[in-house]
Amino acid sequence: MIIVTGGAGFIGSNLVQGLNARGVDDIIVVDDLSDGIKFNNLVDARIADYLDKDDFLDMLMEGVEFADKVDAVFHLGACSDTTQWDGKFMLQNNFEYSKHLFHYCQQRKIPFIYASSAATYGANTTFKEEPANEAPLNVYGYSKLLFDQYVRRYQDDLQAQVVGLRYFNVYGPREQHKGKMASVAYHLNQQLQDNGVIKLFEGCDGYADGEQQRDFVYVGDVVAVNLFFLDNPNKSGIYNVGTGRSQSFNAVANAVLNWHKTGKLTYIPFPEHLKGHYQSFTQADISQLKARGYKQEFLTVEQGVNHYLDWLNSRIK
């Protein structure tokens, strides 16, 4: 049996699909469906059970044992809103919850693969998994860094696999419920569908209009990395998950325009509230991931956006 927290969310539901594609359906999905629209991500999934995240935490605290052996826990549940500044709420959801699950898995020698974030690096331009490069710009990034630091305290005395995956800018199917936190590709496609015009921010931090650079990684590649570590339970650590190359927001916009073969691109003023809290450049250093034996190539923006829009627009009525 495999447990996926956040299993109705973006990356979690894609991971469930990836497990299903392997013939695995003995899966418990843990999530919070207060936002009921997320149920759509599970309609075509094969799972064994669903648990509310608070009920699941109560079970952990009470030391409840599952009837079937738990082969692995993928912990993807979190508040991922980078504009959320309620630190108490953020740390309760992203840090305290993760600690309880970490210790539950360690006590039972269950592999534990969890979602960290490239937000841990903040405005740094060196994206290597080392403390010297970590300086988050928001409380979301801090909550992820705090748990990474917590895990590092135990790294020399682990009882089972623990893997933290620092996701860069993930995009792809099953993110529509995220609203403003959905990917650039999703929003640009929506803009083009609604108005025939794509809008990007003007330049900032020395970058020309739309030339801010991010490491955009397709969710299918993210799932492949998760499954790689599931297949290699002897490998632990904290790893970047990105393509290893940065591409501009203009590149995403042009990929969307090329898919639709219509529309135009314009630029709007950079928001005041994001100044000083915005990553204008990210590029994953994936040397440690490769050193661990991961060999699969990552899709480019052009390839990934084509896959995504084929899926997304086939569902727009």
Check whether residue 223 and residue 260 sit in a common domain. Answer: no
Distance CA 296, CA 287 (A): 13
Check whether residue 41 and residue 92 sit in a common domain. Answer: yes
The pLDDT of residue 314 is 85
The pLDDT of residue 274 is 79
Candidates 163, 119, 124; CA nearest to 145 is: 119
Check whether residue 31 and residue 122 sit in a common domain. Answer: yes
Q: Which residues pair with 52 in a beta bridge?
A: 31
CB 77 within 8 A of CB 98: no
Is residue 289 included in any domain, yes or no? Answer: no
Check whether residue 206 and residue 228 sit in a common domain. Answer: no
Check whether residue 165 and residue 267 sit in a common domain. Answer: no
Is residue 222 included in any domain, yes or no? Answer: yes
Amino acid at 204: C
Q: Any idea what the Cα angle at residue 294 is, between residues 289 and 299, rounded to 5°? A: 95
pTM: 0.94
Q: Per mean pLDDT, which range of 42-46, 70-74, 92-96, 125-129 is the poorest? A: 92-96
Strands 112-117 and 264-268, how do they pair? unpaired
Mean pLDDT, the chain, whole residue set: 93
pLDDT band at 84 (very low <50, low <70, confident <90, very high): low
Check whether residue 237 and residue 266 sit in a common domain. Answer: no
State how many domains the chain has.
2
Q: What's the distance, Cα to Cα, between the start and end of the chain in Å?
A: 37
* Domain boundaries, position 263: 176-213+246-283+302-313
**pLDDT of 279 higher than 80:** no
pLDDT band at 156 (very low <50, low <70, confident <90, very high): very high
Contacts of 251 (CB under 8 A, 6+ apart): 301, 302
Catalytic residue numbers, as ranges: 140, 178
Strands 162-167 and 213-214, how do they pair? unpaired
List C-alpha distances in Å: 70 to 4, 95, 111, 218: 11, 22, 9, 28
Check whether residue 157 and residue 278 sit in a common domain. Answer: no
Q: List the CATH number of the domain containing 119.
A: 3.40.50.720
Check whether residue 41 and residue 161 sit in a common domain. Answer: yes
Q: List the CATH number of the domain containing 263.
A: 3.90.25.10
Token digits of residue 279: 């990553």
**pLDDT of 179 higher than 80:** yes
The pLDDT of residue 19 is 98
CB 53 within 8 A of CB 5: yes
Check whether residue 276 and residue 163 sit in a common domain. Answer: no
- Burial of 38 (C-beta count, 10 Å sphere; 0-12/13-18/19+): buried
Q: Per residue in 115-152, pLDDT tens?
A: 999 999 988 889 999 999 999 988 999 999 999 999 99
